[in-house]
Structure 1
Amino acid sequence: MNAPIGAPDTAAPALVQLLDHLDEGVLLCDDAGTVLYRNPAAARRLPAVTVGGPMPDGLNGRRVELGAGQVAWYLHQTSERADDHAAFLAATARRVGGMLNADRVCRATVELAVSSLAGAALLVLPTRRGRARCWHAAGSAPVRQDQVALASLPAAVRDTLDGNPVAQPFLWPGGTPFLGSEATPAAWVVPILAAGGPAAALVVTEIADVTLLEDFAARIGAALEAAQLYAAQSRVAATLQESLLPEPPAPVTGLTWGTAYRPARSTMHIGGDFYGAHPIAGGAMFFLGDVSGKGVDAAVLTGQVRHSLRALRRVEDDPQRLLHVLNDMLLEGLSDGRFATMVLGTAQPRPSGGIRLTLAGGGHLPPLVLRADGTVETVALRGMLVGVIDEPVFGRHTLHLAPGETCLLFTDGVTEARGGHRGAEMYGLRRLTTALAGCATMPAPALAERVEQLAMDWLGGREHDDIAVLAVRAEPVRTSPRHLHSVHQSATVHRSATVTVS
């Protein structure tokens, strides 16, 4: 037998041995149609064909040009054999078709190969910087995973990963623990193809049917491509979700923030409720609101609203006028027909203590104020929806928080939480006001978490709407003890000096 193109003549005996163990019939012919080699499977199927004789007419098989005047014919299987192969390929599709994890697909590939297809199997999945992850097993041994340098792999494997589209036989010089203990194992390598080209390479020994190997690789390629696509989409979704999550309010001297956020769909981590706070001259601008709709569309709009407010605060710091600018932006196509409800305000700490709040209302629930004596007041703030009509009327209200007092903003996910004895009664503003009466001394972060917990306790594990809470608390004015100590020391030194002189 002449060695296949690209293989040295010394490799011919090993390649003959490899082909002799195939259950698939293989004929090697030259351009003149003379048979150069036939393996035992071909001899059983075509007993009249002899080496040196003419190639028979009407061969039922796959023709592969090897170059240098040689042609290989892989004879099609008998119907019984084809049924077995079809059953194996169907089982492969069922096993890996639903897997959306690339590592699990690779492990299952090796398990399937060594159980029904080959004596040993190695799957090579390139990573970065010239490295690759490998899953391998031989015989009944369990599948193991390792990392290797691509440069350490045989040229045939590297060629396959670089784009060689067909299965090819080769010898692994010096042997490898991946494929058992043979000193120089004869193997086949086949690409695992994805849309962009080879995604991996599968190496097997003692293969019985090259056609089956390629069909098997095609099934694995589809499953691996789906898993990698899912992983890529998951990374994109996670990155986008991270960018849409509410940001912690910026710290401002004289006040503290408290926040709580719980989207309706916990697997998304984002929803239609939003809040935020950004520094402005003399204090901070803050907001809390809700957009129409749910899920991804609502989350995208909340991100657009938050980013718009971050930019607009640099050119407009009056809450009422700022709502009108945002309304115009929503009507011009930012919202694609959706609208928002919102409370937008500014907080200006006073030198003498406390905070001056200026609030604008855009169709949202009015805030609550927790006074220092434990009373809870509802802010008289009304207004129209943001992003519905050209000339809306937005409410405006100014109030003062004394040190230790808090203004609480919340979405309807709190008051419209359904629970109770029958599971259909809303939590309501009255229950919330009553529960807050004993929370006047709570720090802002604890108060926000308390409101969220009240709603979740009322729900009792039932489905709920998005929940967002923002608390603004005026902190007491603290006189610097270092300054007092300095004045005291100066007075002491002066008195001591006076006594000494006298």
Structure 2
Amino acid sequence: MRGATGSANAGAARATPGDVAALLDGSDEGIVLCDAGGVVLLANAAAVRMAPEIVPGGPVPSELCPAGSDTVTYGGRVIRVRTEAVGDHRALYLSEVPSLPRRTEFLLEAARRLFASLHPRRCARAAVDLGAEFLCDVAVVVLPPATNRRVEWVRAAAGRPAPEEGVLPLATALQVPGLNDALAGLTHGSGGRQDAGAVPDWLLPDGFGPAGDLLVFPLPGNSVPAGAMALVRRADRPPFDEEALAMARDLASRAGAALSAAMLFREQSAINTILIDGLLPPDLPEVEGMRLGGRLRSSQQAGAVGGDFYDVYLPETGAGHGIESGIVERPPLIILGDVCGKGARAAVLAGQVRQSLRALLLLESRPVRLLQLLNRSLLASPAPNSYVTLILAALREAPGEHVLVDLAVAGHPAPLVLRGDGTVEEVPARGSLLGALKKTVLRPVTVDLAPGEVCLLYSDGITEAFGGPTGREMFGEERLKDALATCRGMPVDALVERLEQISSEWLAGGQQDDRALLAVRAGGQEPATGTTTGATTGATMVWAETTG
């Protein structure tokens, strides 16, 4: 038995090079063995079929020598190359990646390019680029006519670096055969084919020569066409065959869907911009004898607008009219509030509150009475959860460049006052939430601000911000007071900016609520940066409880 086994092993060891070659040729994977210098020592039949230039003793084509493993294009084939070390030599393993059918490849590329942008012009440029690259010599997209009876067009030509764009009178554009029907959403002619001899000059680039074949298709949209597309081949090229016609229809269908989505997005963005512009806080005006500064930051989830808001209402020329007290002089009024909820719904309610107050100010000027009337309006609102916390502050000039601030607070954090010596006081104004109870209980307060002193209105998004070293600690009122104390002597814009920055740093990028700050500084002149205000004053606060 020992002799028989040894004899069998000896036979296996005497396999010839021909046996090895036959074994390798039986593999569908290309195998190339080369030395350290890249000279081919051995190549099987599959490798030679994929790359006929591979011959023993010759070099391995550089395209087939990627760093590591990669997929390369060689000789019109897509080849996956895997490289491994074999002793002192190197082995390349080649496998051909099956190519997609031409129409499938085109559809995949069309989907990638057309839906890469929600900008109508970019979609139109992608559509004509695809047409000129895969189907024709010139591709043109004509967008729907504008109200001035003019149309925009985008054109790409094979071999030219970038699409061209232009504007034409609608009557000139309609010289293209079948374009009128295509812009109406109809396919004219036999499968979109039109008379190439009737192509107008504007459709083709300079020096193009005569057109040999013309296709015109509508670009289907949501309810109306998104435009039309014209595809032109030169006279020296074969006309569009059935496969090209099918691909042209696919391109028109997908280009129409992409353009429709882009146009809808543009329309919605324009509407959103108009709505948001009406909800954003106003630019703070110049008010004689005082300075105003404000900051508003919406939550990360809500985008540009949210439930916190502020506004400034300046008196009209002449006098206002009170509901009960006849003619009254209306002082400048500032408000800061917070409505229930977040995001767009909260922003709409905030806008309604601001506009309601603007209308009520035509009839009433007293802060307490305004809050009572607003409460009645919110209670009658059909919208659910129309709850609002609000501060109203009527501003009056007083002798010695003082400012008297008549404050009415409804369910909102009490304002803070920064005195001239750097101390911070909390205003003892209180009141009930608006929109919840039929009767409001309000304790208005009048604050006397000496020159340089500041009254700060803020929302609870500042004090209830969770962050700090652990990320779970509330900022709180005491930290806000301490931060405000460090702002003594600052211009009012710098003061609110510093407080907003301190709040943002506390959040450290964490989840935030809407945040609003509005400050009033007594005195018409801002201090120079780095200076401090004068000594403290003996200003007092007076309050009385009112129920209505």
Aligned-CA RMSD value: 2.6
Kept in 2, the 8 Å contact 1:331–1:337? The answer is: no
Given candidates 217, 223, 230, the residue that maps to 2:252 is 217
- Residue type of the alignment partner of 1:108: A
1:201 aligns with 2:228: yes
Instruction: Provide closer, same or farther for how the CA distance between residues 397 and 450 of structure 1 changes in structure 2, counting only shifts above 3 A.
Output: same
1:261 aligns with 2:282: no
Kept in 1, the 8 Å contact 2:211–2:232? The answer is: no
Superimposed CA distance per residue, residues 413-457 of structure 1 (whole angstroms, 9 cap, x where no aligned partner): 211222211111122111111122232222222211121111112
Instruction: Provide closer, same or farther for how the CA distance between residues 174 and 456 of structure 1 changes in structure 2, counting only shifts above 3 A.
Output: closer
Kept in 2, the 8 Å contact 1:120–1:180? The answer is: no
Instruction: Provide closer, same or farther for how the CA distance between residues 214 and 184 of structure 1 changes in structure 2, counting only shifts above 3 A.
Output: closer
Given candidates 177, 189, 192, the residue that maps to 1:156 is 177
TM-score (norm. length: structure 1): 0.73
1:145 aligns with 2:164: yes
Kept in 2, the 8 Å contact 1:343–1:362? The answer is: yes
Kept in 2, the 8 Å contact 1:282–1:349? The answer is: no
Structure 2 segments unaligned to the other structure (5+ residues) = 1-100, 234-239, 316-328, 527-548
1:468 deviates by 0.8
Q: Which residue of 1 aligns with 2:341?
A: 293
Instruction: Provide closer, same or farther for how the CA distance between residues 176 and 339 of structure 1 changes in structure 2, counting only shifts above 3 A.
Output: closer
Kept in 2, the 8 Å contact 1:353–1:477? The answer is: no
Superimposed CA distance per residue, residues 230-276 of structure 1 (whole angstroms, 9 cap, x where no aligned partner): 11001100110011101123432111111111111387311110111
Within 1, Cα distance between the matches of 2:382 and 2:446? 30
Q: Which residue of 2 aligns with 1:434?
A: 482
Instruction: Provide closer, same or farther for how the CA distance between residues 328 and 208 of structure 1 changes in structure 2, counting only shifts above 3 A.
Output: same
1:173 deviates by 4.3
Q: Within 5 A, what are the aligned runs for 1:83-482?
A: 85=103, 88-89=106-107, 92-93=110-111, 95-97=113-115, 99-126=117-144, 128=146, 129-150=148-169, 151-153=171-173, 154-156=175-177, 158-160=179-181, 162-163=183-184, 165-166=186-187, 167-171=192-196, 172-174=199-201, 177-178=204-205, 181-206=208-233, 207-209=240-242, 210-265=245-300, 268-280=303-315, 281=329, 283-333=331-381, 335-475=383-523
1:477 deviates by 9.0
Higher helix share: 1
1:126 deviates by 4.1
Calculate percent identity across the aligned residue pairs: 38
- Residue type of the alignment partner of 2:373: V
Within 2, Cα distance between the matches of 1:202 and 1:258? 54
Range 424-433 or range 273-282, more displaced = 273-282
1:125 deviates by 1.8
Q: Which residue of 1 aligns with 2:83?
A: none
Kept in 2, the 8 Å contact 1:406–1:473? The answer is: yes
Kept in 2, the 8 Å contact 1:106–1:135? The answer is: yes
Superimposed CA distance per residue, residues 339-384 of structure 1 (whole angstroms, 9 cap, x where no aligned partner): 1111112111114431111111111111000111211111112221
TM-score (norm. length: structure 2): 0.67
How many residues are treated as equivalent by the alignment? 397
- Residue type of the alignment partner of 2:458: F
Q: Which residue of 1 aligns with 2:36?
A: none
- Residue type of the alignment partner of 2:213: A
Superimposed CA distance per residue, residues 306-348 of structure 1 (whole angstroms, 9 cap, x where no aligned partner): 1111111221111112111111111111643231111112111
Superimposed CA distance per residue, residues 141-185 of structure 1 (whole angstroms, 9 cap, x where no aligned partner): 344121031444334254245526002412214585449712344
Superimposed CA distance per residue, residues 212-239 of structure 1 (whole angstroms, 9 cap, x where no aligned partner): 4234312221221111111100110011
Kept in 1, the 8 Å contact 2:415–2:458? The answer is: yes
Structure 1 segments unaligned to the other structure (5+ residues) = 1-82, 479-502
Instruction: Provide closer, same or farther for how the CA distance between residues 157 and 354 of structure 1 changes in structure 2, counting only shifts above 3 A.
Output: farther
